[in-house]
Amino acid sequence: MPQFRPLQGNLSTSPTLYIDTEAKASALLETAKHRINAVRSMLNSVSCLCVNDAEGHDLEHFASAAHLLLQDGCDALDALGWKLDRVAPAL
């Protein structure tokens, strides 16, 4: 497995953002938690909005940012899972 894997949220033909699969497990978990908590906060804000007050593409922008952050968090959790599988393979 390569040490640096492109994040799935890369939209360009040549990835520019990567996750270090050799990072400490605690760092991968903290990265995932930070992004997932940011998404939770964003969605909490959206849930308090009146849709009639949203302007133009506001909800689309929130959804796009939430998706990107959540995908990054999932990528970090995947890397953590790979790391844990290498340390303690499933029986």
Cα–Cα distance, 76 to 70 (Å, whole number): 10
Model confidence at 52, pLDDT cuts 50, 70, 90, reads: confident
Model confidence at 90, pLDDT cuts 50, 70, 90, reads: low
> Residue 19 domain-assigned?
no
* Per-residue model confidence (pLDDT) at position 28: 96
Cα–Cα distance, 1 to 82 (Å, whole number): 9
> Residue 4 domain-assigned?
no
> Residue 57 domain-assigned?
yes
Cα–Cα distance, 84 to 66 (Å, whole number): 27
Question: What range defines the domain where residue 41 resides?
Answer: 26-87
> Residue 74 domain-assigned?
yes
Number of domains in the chain: 1
Lowest mean pLDDT among 20-24, 41-45, 48-52, 76-80: 48-52
Q: Residues 65, 84, 86, 21: what is their CA dihedral angle, to the nearest 10 degrees?
A: 30
> Residue 7 domain-assigned?
no
* Per-residue model confidence (pLDDT) at position 91: 55
